[in-house]
Amino acid sequence: MTENFELWADYTEKIIIPSIGATLRMTFFSMFFACIFGIILAIFLVLYGPHCNLNPKPKTYKVLDFFVNMIRSFPIIILIVAISPLTKILVGTTLGEKAAIFPLTIAAIPFIARVIENALNEVDKQLIEVGKSFGASNLQIIMLYMIKEAVPAITAGITLCSINFLTATTLAGAVGAGGLGAVALNYGYQSFNNFILYFTVLIILVLVEILQISGNLVYKKLK
């Protein structure tokens, strides 16, 4: 019994705790970069899109729309492998956490952009008219009126996206990035160790709950 306990302690200390760190780092950094680029992309989608009548450019919008859909259609594990030459050039390595963060970010950008675009499109059209009547430029309208109005919806969208990509990081074990998914798969499932498997799943569940609850709190504050 004591020996078993030691083994579990060992597992927790050397395998599980570092992998929680790896999962959180990967989620945080990929979300951070994806939010920056996602917002920029969303602004262009709204600016050129047909919904808000700001500066509709159907052709440009179609191209952007196509790329957003294309990247979103890649299963993440395939994206990680498919863009590995690009990862090598930009990140300098195809191994480890950094190498996983890049494809995760690439996958998250269109997702976040789409979520924010939808949030912005939901903004009352009269607000846009008001902005126009004040002589505000399109960019000012988006930045000062629409985003401000859409912040709660954007927060909810980013929460949704973060949870999505928290679970997506579990695939990053394939490129040596570690993380809870790799532990559940290799030390749990493949080693016939159900305790590790379900314990890891439980940790992921807790992380998801924390994200959702804090997302909800922020949403309530902003609403």
Where on the chain is the footprint of other proteins (CB under 8 A)?
3, 7, 10-11, 14-15, 81, 84, 93-96, 173-176, 178, 182, 186-187, 190-193
Q: Which residues contact 172 (CB under 8 A, 6 or more apart)?
A: 26, 80, 97, 100, 104, 178, 179, 181, 182
Nearest distance in Å: CB 9, other proteins? 10
Residue (69 or 190) nearer to other proteins, CB: 190
User: CB neighbours (10 Å) of residue 53?
Assistant: 11
Nearest distance in Å: CB 3, other proteins? 8
Residue (15 or 71) nearer to other proteins, CB: 15
Both structure tokens of 198: 């379900």
Residue (152 or 176) nearer to other proteins, CB: 176
Distance separating alpha carbons of residues 131 and 146, to the nearest angstrom: 10
CB burial class (10 A; 0-12, 13-18, 19+) of residue 39? middle
Residue (43 or 175) nearer to other proteins, CB: 175
Nearest distance in Å: CB 121, other proteins? 40
